[in-house]
Amino acid sequence: MKLWVGLGNPGAKYAGNRHNIGFMALERIAADHGFGPWRRAFQGLVSEGRFGSEKVLLLKPETFMNLSGQAVGEAARFHKLTPADITVFHDELDLAPGRLRLKQGGGHAGHNGLRSIHAHLGEAYGRVRLGIGHPGHKDAVAAYVLHDFAKADADWLDDLMRGISDGAPALAAGDGPGFLNAVNARVAPARNSGARAPEAPVARPAAANPPAGAAPGGTEDTRTPLQRLAGRFR
């Protein structure tokens, strides 16, 4: 069994926030792959489904971001899961919007949701890092992550969610490269192909019509009429 955790804050007030992109990813997976209805458990909302023979439990903690580890720890203990069985989907300031990276283990980089999970599980769990970009200054981070995605973000965000959903079976099977390929096929199909668009033909100015009596090349024609006639058949 796998436990996939999406990080975010509960309630309609936060639903569209950048900080809630982890919730969004799990909701898309559940909807596209026929997972069961969301129900309350482990201080959060859970939905269950399968990819082939692999059972996957989706968890959206309702403890608020800074206490996410409470819900994750409770679910892990109940199902007797190790950190290797757990993958956390979370927002990542250090990646450009629409970019995604897989990571196994490592530090929390100041992310409060990961910090809480570290306290309950240690650092060996997997992560799907979902790029949201950085506001440019650390003092602006809190307002930035707790603000809704802009309308201009809608296209890349939808592509990213589609790619995550497409790649979910590969992720469940432990095929990280297959998961990343599925995401890249959605978010960067043109760039991945390496193909260049054909160049438009260059228009060239038409040559001016030579004046009557001019020889080829534009010089004065001193040929006899017979020579001119013969030149037409060369």
State the Cα–Cα distance between residues 222 and 67, nearest whole angstrom.
99
Q: Determine, yes or no, domain membership for 179.
A: yes
- For 150-195, the DSSP string reads PGGGHHHHHHHHHHHHHHHHHHHTT-HHHHHHHHHHHH-HHHHH-P
Selection from 182, 186, 71 nearest residue 117 by Cα:
71
| Per-residue tokens: 145 | 């992550």
Model pLDDT, residue 221: 57
85 CB contacts (<8 Å, ≥6 apart)? 1, 2, 3, 76
State the Cα–Cα distance between residues 209 and 218, nearest whole angstrom: 10
In terms of residue numbers, what domain contains 189? 2-193
Q: List the CATH number of the domain containing 137.
A: 3.40.50.1470
Alpha-carbon distance of 118 to 101, in angstroms, equals: 19
Tokens at residue 30, please?
Answer: 């559940």
Give a yes or no: residue 89 inside a domain.
yes
Q: What is each CA distance from 106 to 92, 102, 109, 226, 230, in whole angstroms?
A: 14, 12, 9, 92, 87
Task: Give the global pTM.
Answer: 0.80
What is the model's pLDDT at position 202? Answer: 42
Tell me what pLDDT residue 188 has.
83
Contact 96, 137 (CB under 8 A): no
Three-state SS across 6-20? Answer: ECCCCCHHHCCEHHH
At 89 the pLDDT is: 98
Does residue 78 form part of some domain?
yes
Number of domains within the chain: 1
CA distances from 42 to 69, 72, 115, 134 (A): 11, 7, 19, 32
Confidence at residue 205, expressed as pLDDT on a 0 to 100 scale: 44
**SS3 (DSSP) at 118:** helix
Closest CA to 148 of 35, 17, 51, 13: 17
Residue 231 in domain: no
Is 173 part of a structural domain of the chain?
yes
Per-block mean pLDDT, blocks of 10 residues, the chain (234 long): 97 96 98 97 98 96 96 98 97 95 90 94 96 94 96 96 97 97 87 45 45 50 58 54
Q: Specify whether the CB–CB gap between 206 and 180 falls below 8 A.
A: no
Q: Within a domain: residue 229?
A: no
Residues with Cβ within 8 Å of 112's Cβ and at least 6 positions away in sequence, in order, are 65, 66
Q: Is 79 a catalytic residue?
A: no
Query: Does any domain span residue 158?
Result: yes
Domain for residue 38, yes or no?
yes
Q: Which of 19, 33, 108, 137 is catalytic?
A: 19
Distance (Å, whole) CA 147 – CA 16: 8
